[in-house]
Structure 1
Amino acid sequence: MGAMSTAGNAADIWWVGLAWTAAATVLAALLVRLLWLVQDKAVARLRAWLVLLRRKQGHAAIVSTYVDHANSGVQWVVTALSWGLIVLVIDLWASFVLQQFSWTRSWGLRSFDWLMDVLGQFFSATLGAVPGLLTALLIFGLARLVSQAQCLLLERVERGEVRLGWLDKDTAGPTRRLAQVVVWLFALAMAYPYLPGSNSEAFKGLSVLAGLMLSLGASSVVGQAMSGLSLMYSRALRVGEYVKIGDTEGTVTQVGLFATRVQTGMGEEVILPNSVVFGQPVRNFSRLVEDGQFVLHTAVTIGYTTPWRQVHAMLLEAASRTPGVAAVPAPYVIQSALSDFYVEYRLCAQGNNNAPRRRAEALSALHANVQDVFNENGVQIMSPHYLADPPAPQVVPAGPWAPQRGEALQPPAQRGQPGASVGL
């Protein structure tokens, strides 16, 4: 009877264990299903929030550039959390099921104790890291407030709404970016000791690796950045100015930290590294003139037999016919060289619109008008070269060469032919 009673009790315990196992299995399956549903709902909600944020911000660079990465990151984080909870549910289910049967109860107890020990260590470490995390968050929050305050001030300086004696609007932009970098680097240095694991060997090794990579690979980048800062704070270039850097001529559209962009009048945009710009002479055609204007000049070489006063008058006439040349200040002509066979005349004027295409068009129109005026007055734009001594000295005969108002610009009859067309 005792054996039969023991067998009956064992059978009852077996069936009770099976019943609890079935109930635990159903409950675990429901929990796993619920976790999957919560994961899908959370991902959908977060993506909808990102889309709404993108619409509110318009085409802000930080949103439009990284929205796809944010979607992927959100899905990865939520999926990792859900899988962690699923593994926890499965481990609890396995421990509970193993404890329902006598021959596996010891395994279930050890598994449950191990799980509780791991969870205890995790929550203990998390609670221990909370004060440090709160301190780091406080430091980053203060850094954000300081960064926003200086950004608001320097943006107003950049727009010309606020004037500071030691800072103008041209250097307010790079100063704002530099101040942001300094504030966040200072905040990171202050918050680093409070980050969890900052004293671990892994964290120290990662810091050494990052420093080594920066020291080996950032020399050229730092050089470019220093050149860019030198250009910005020396005010050698400003956006909108017409300049010539080496063989590149055009309007400056951007002076960045690493490169300078110049738009030519031929539909091109040239990107020059700041180290190249910093190491070459820069000719600025806009700095010393009024806003919206630029310096415009061209040169011709005419022989000595053509009166210089006549050449001056013809060049000024060509400038007055050109729509893109400003009347005030008045154009003028200088004789820049007395060469062996000709005189070099340079016409200097100012343009009306400081744009690369307008400057190219104005210079082209000026060259066309110079040719027209010289052709109308019978003077060839040619540079004679010496081959032999002429039969008579080729000099300008005496006469009233200063043209009066209303008089023609023709040379005197005794010359017989334009001096510039005579090859010596």
Structure 2
Amino acid sequence: MNTQDIWQFITTQGADFGIKLVTAIAAWIVGRWLIALAVGLMGKVLERGSRIDSTLANYLKSITSVLLNIILILAILDVFGVKTTSFAALLAGAGLAIGAAWSGMLGNFAAGVFMQVLRPYKVGDYISAGGVEGTVSELGLFATSLVTPDNVMTVVGNGKIFGDNIQNYSALPVRRVDCVAKIANSVDPRDAIARLRPAIAAIPNVVAEPTPDIEILEFTPEGPKLCVRPYTHTSHYWQVYFDTHQAIVQTFGSAGYPVPETPVAYRSAPTARA
């Protein structure tokens, strides 16, 4: 382009181009100010709700800012007469390609967003989810970290957790501890239950309400089975579980109960020797 062409462009379209340039600059300044204002208000709303994790809030603010800036750039290009239809189609195609390639990661991310909002569990809760049982140590956007009872750090994808049943053992004040005690046929179950009630109630961290359940569970050839079910907070579950078994052994030993034995009629026949 020579000097004559430049002068001709200035004399014929210079005013129109100048107006468009000023309009674009003004749109960029005002648009950026409005985007900053909108993202700031969004951040305050998320912080005020206190149900959204700070990490998720930052991600949402960042994604919103990027999307609004893309819209602003497309609007400014349209001011100069640049056709943005093909550009928008290109962005949509790229988004579909990325989504197909990262479908698993995006699924985990989407599930993480929902769990950050719905909060089925929080850090410190003891849960069973995605086939793993343990204490939640971290609730991330893509995965949840659990410490299993045998002290192993296990990371489970949020998509697997959100697509399956979630059991939160820490959601309620108390949890039932299930134990079984077997007595001989010669022992009166009512006497055994009466002896167990004060012994189980005296175990540390067993709550008074609801009271422990001690009832006949079933009958076996060796003798009746008793269900012994105290209640405690989930943080004391294993302590109460093991102490309950000790209380059963001590109570039945002090009472002189015989050890349940399989009746002769139910014993397997001895193996014949050659």
Q: Give the drift of 1:323.
A: 1.9
Question: Which has the higher mean CA deviation after the structures are superposed, 235-244 or 215-224?
Answer: 235-244
Q: Give the drift of 1:295.
A: 0.8
Q: State the distance in 1 between where 2:221 and 2:31 align.
A: 75
CA separation of 1:137/1:267 partners in 2, compared to 1, >3 Å: closer, same or farther?
A: farther
CA separation of 1:301/1:220 partners in 2, compared to 1, >3 Å: closer, same or farther?
A: same
- The answer on whether the counterparts of 2:184 and 2:259 sit within 8 Å (CA) in structure 1 is no
1:217 to 2:101 alignment: yes
Unpaired runs of 5+ residues, structure 1, are: 1-112, 118-123, 159-168, 391-424
User: Which of 40, 55, 70 is equivalent to 1:148?
Assistant: 40
Q: How does 1:72-221 map to 2 (within 5 A)?
A: 131-132=23-24, 134-158=26-50, 169=51, 176=57, 180=61, 183-184=64-65, 186-194=67-75, 207=91, 210-221=94-105
Aligned to 1:298: 178
1:327 to 2:215 alignment: no
Q: State the distance in 2 between where 1:387 and 1:185 align.
A: 79
**SS of equivalent to 1:388:** helix
User: Which of 189, 209, 234 is equivalent to 1:308?
Assistant: 189
1:272 to 2:167 alignment: no
TM-score of the superposition, structure 1-length normalised? 0.46
Percent of aligned positions that are identical? 20
Aligned to 2:265: 388
1:364 to 2:246 alignment: no
- The answer on whether the counterparts of 1:295 and 1:350 sit within 8 Å (CA) in structure 2 is yes
1:378 to 2:262 alignment: no
Q: State the distance in 2 between where 1:269 and 1:381 align.
A: 41
CA separation of 1:247/1:208 partners in 2, compared to 1, >3 Å: closer, same or farther?
A: closer
Q: State the distance in 1 between where 2:241 and 2:194 align.
A: 19
Which whole-Å deviations, capped at 9, do the CAs of 1:279-298 have from their partners, x for residues lacking one? 44333323332xxxx31403
- The answer on whether the counterparts of 2:215 and 2:226 sit within 8 Å (CA) in structure 1 is yes
Aligned to 2:127: 243
Which whole-Å deviations, capped at 9, do the CAs of 1:243-295 have from their partners, x for residues lacking one? 23365333334443322233344444332222322344333323332xxxx31
Which whole-Å deviations, capped at 9, do the CAs of 1:178-217 have from their partners, x for residues lacking one? 7536633541342131467986999679736632531321
TM-score of the superposition, structure 2-length normalised? 0.66
Q: State the distance in 2 between where 1:376 and 1:134 align.
A: 91
- The answer on whether the counterparts of 2:108 and 2:142 sit within 8 Å (CA) in structure 1 is yes
User: Which of 130, 136, 148 is equivalent to 1:252?
Assistant: 136
CA separation of 1:204/1:298 partners in 2, compared to 1, >3 Å: closer, same or farther?
A: closer
Equivalent pairs counted in the alignment come to 249
Q: State the distance in 2 between where 1:321 and 1:298 align.
A: 17
Q: State the distance in 1 between where 2:141 and 2:162 align.
A: 12
Q: State the distance in 2 between where 1:338 and 1:173 align.
A: 55
Q: State the distance in 1 between where 2:143 and 2:58 align.
A: 16
CA separation of 1:180/1:240 partners in 2, compared to 1, >3 Å: closer, same or farther?
A: same
Q: Give the drift of 1:385.
A: 4.4
| Greater strand fraction, Structure 1 or Structure 2 | 2
Instruction: Kindly indicate whether structure 1 or structure 2 has the higher relative contact order, using CA contacts under 8 Å at least 6 residues apart.
Output: 2
Q: State the distance in 2 between where 1:371 and 1:207 align.
A: 71
CA separation of 1:344/1:172 partners in 2, compared to 1, >3 Å: closer, same or farther?
A: farther
C-alpha RMSD of the superposition: 4.3
Q: Give the drift of 1:240.
A: 3.8
Q: Give the drift of 1:388.
A: 0.5
**SS of equivalent to 2:265:** coil
| Greater helix fraction, Structure 1 or Structure 2 | 1
Q: Give the drift of 1:334.
A: 4.4
User: Which of 226, 234, 243 is equivalent to 1:345?
Assistant: 226
CA separation of 1:176/1:303 partners in 2, compared to 1, >3 Å: closer, same or farther?
A: same
**SS of equivalent to 1:250:** strand
Which whole-Å deviations, capped at 9, do the CAs of 1:117-167 have from their partners, x for residues lacking one? 9xxxxxx99x98675355345334323322222322332331xxxxxxxxx
Q: State the distance in 2 between where 1:240 and 1:141 align.
A: 41
Q: State the distance in 2 between where 1:369 and 1:328 align.
A: 19
